[in-house]
Amino acid sequence: DQQVKQNSPSLSVQEGRISILNCDYTNSMFDYFLWYKKYPAEGPTFLISISSIKDKNEDGRFTVFLNKSAKHLSLHIVPSQPGDSAVYFCAASVGGGADGLTFGKGTHLIIQP
């Protein structure tokens, strides 16, 4: 029973264009969402987060959108750069805590030159 779903295993985007990574969740109790980025042979690194009281959070080239009614969130990266090529994990938690984070399977983003 996957509570956090990233249905696209991979995504290829041209450098300079917008990358949109999607994440769906089933547990309506989730109230805090995070995106992590992972390079090969390294651990995931925190990228951006959003609380359920917001519908958008922006940090530089990265923006996360939350649609609670659809139980959907997305990460937008614009403009996409070669260094953005990585696996992106969506994660969710109940009560805003970092304990018990539920992760999706990840989307491998490939930025084409």
Partner 1 sequence: GAGVSQSPSNKVTEKGKDVELRCDPISGHTALYWYRQRLGQGLEFLIYFQGNSAPDKSGLPSDRFSAERTGESVSTLTIQRTQQEDSAVYLCASSLFSRVGSPLHFGNGTRLTVT
Residues binding partner 1 (CB under 8 A): 4, 6, 32, 34, 36, 41-46, 49, 51, 89, 91, 93, 96-106
DSSP state of 82: G
Measuring CA to CA, which residue among 38, 42, 31 is closest to residue 92? 31
Q: Which is nearer to partner 1, 32 or 84 (CB)?
A: 32
Q: Which is nearer to partner 1, 49 or 79 (CB)?
A: 49
d(CA 81, CA 1): 34
CB of 14 to partner 1, least distance (A): 26
CB of 45 to partner 1, least distance (A): 7
Q: Which is nearer to partner 1, 3 or 74 (CB)?
A: 3
CB of 50 to partner 1, least distance (A): 10
d(CA 77, CA 18): 6
Q: Which is nearer to partner 1, 32 or 77 (CB)?
A: 32
Measuring CA to CA, which residue among 86, 98, 12 is closest to residue 44? 86
CB of 57 to partner 1, least distance (A): 13
Measuring CA to CA, which residue among 25, 98, 7 is closest to residue 67? 25
